[in-house]
Structure 1
């Protein structure tokens, strides 16, 4: 059935690289990439491997069922609560390699009532600056 939609700019909250650096002190920063990229074991695209220090890993693939649909809201809520992400919790932001996969993370968060900001520069911008630290391993 046909519908109507109107696209417009500036509807998604975003943070820049300086806000991303300070974010773990004020909220929860989610790295939406595969766990091995987060841990710094592989980096197929960017100049350095690892993650933004203080960020928690939540691969977007973990938000999907085996057939590629979003998990049920109660399952998403339970899984994200383990990271401290829940309605009324501190601010939440997400990044990935280039910002695309993080937008998927933000969609999943929206389905459970958590509004999150996007760091569009993501790991590509962060890892391109040698002065920025890179976390490795499982811990934020």
Structure 2
């Protein structure tokens, strides 16, 4: 079943007697230019959408486990309860587009045990383009009853990621120049995990931020030898955010994969771990 919903279908669902809970996760990488995710939410969001902070609630504090390590499950649960989420709630998450933060939310919410989570394809940009209404009004905090069940999705640590690189396919979802070690604008060491293959996240979407069709995604990954065998598949990026976007693309293509949450920003904290370039 697809984990994506387009703007027109979401508008129809929100008009029903039992609409899904909508969560805004607009996000900007720390240090980037322009308004923060919270400021973007304050200026414009879907009516009734609660804001969840990726850095503070969908990730743990940065450190030896990476820039966006696994969050405290109780922090995630509290954020979901504030948004009005119960154990059996249907939830739709979105960001401003192209769904990098929304994909991370999709993964984290499923990791803590929420069953029905979808991503608004194309994000707020697609919603506005389709004529969907927006507001700056902040809804009253909900009183959901969600209880976290962490570990509901597979997770790779550094050793497991290295093993997948040897026995299956470890996908590096960063840009090609970062994979090759030619450029590293964020982390202190350039390069990639030995044995990994490069499949930039940007190749999963159209210029407008919407995902490619499932058949297109299957063809794209099959050209890289991904999803054509029973060998394990793992995905990483710089800090485990855009890798979740690749996981969502693989989900749409029918490919099972596990996230190396710590990703490159954790891998390089141990100087004994090897680094490949080119």
Same fold (TM over 0.5): yes
1:87 CA drift (Å): 5.4
Separation in structure 2 between the aligned mates of residue 86 and residue 19 of structure 1, nearest angstrom:
19
Q: Secondary structure at the match of 1:11?
A: coil
Separation in structure 1 between the aligned mates of residue 164 and residue 229 of structure 2, nearest angstrom:
17
Q: Structure 1 pair 87/5, CA: closer, same or farther in 2 (3 Å)? A: farther
Equivalent residue, structure 2, for 1:68: 209
Separation in structure 2 between the aligned mates of residue 47 and residue 64 of structure 1, nearest angstrom:
28
Q: Contact 1:46 / 1:128 at 8 angstroms: preserved in 2?
A: no
Bigger drift between 76-85 and 86-95 goes to 86-95
- The structure whose RCO (Cα within 8 Å, separation 6+) is larger is 1
Number of aligned residue pairs: give it: 137
Counterpart among 169, 176, 180 of residue 35 in structure 1 = 176
Equivalent residue, structure 1, for 2:250: 109
Bigger drift between 33-42 and 5-14 goes to 5-14
Equivalent residue, structure 2, for 1:126: 267
Equivalent residue, structure 2, for 1:10: 151
Larger Rg: 2
Counterpart among 158, 162, 170 of residue 21 in structure 1 = 162
Unaligned runs of 5+ in 2: 1-13, 21-88, 92-108, 114-149
1:82 CA drift (Å): 1.3
Separation in structure 2 between the aligned mates of residue 36 and residue 105 of structure 1, nearest angstrom:
18
CA deviation string 1:26-78 (max 9, x = no partner): 11000011111101011112121000000000111000011111111111111
Q: Contact 1:70 / 1:108 at 8 angstroms: preserved in 2?
A: yes
Separation in structure 1 between the aligned mates of residue 188 and residue 226 of structure 2, nearest angstrom:
30
1:83 CA drift (Å): 1.4
What is the TM-score of this pair, normalised by structure 1?
0.91
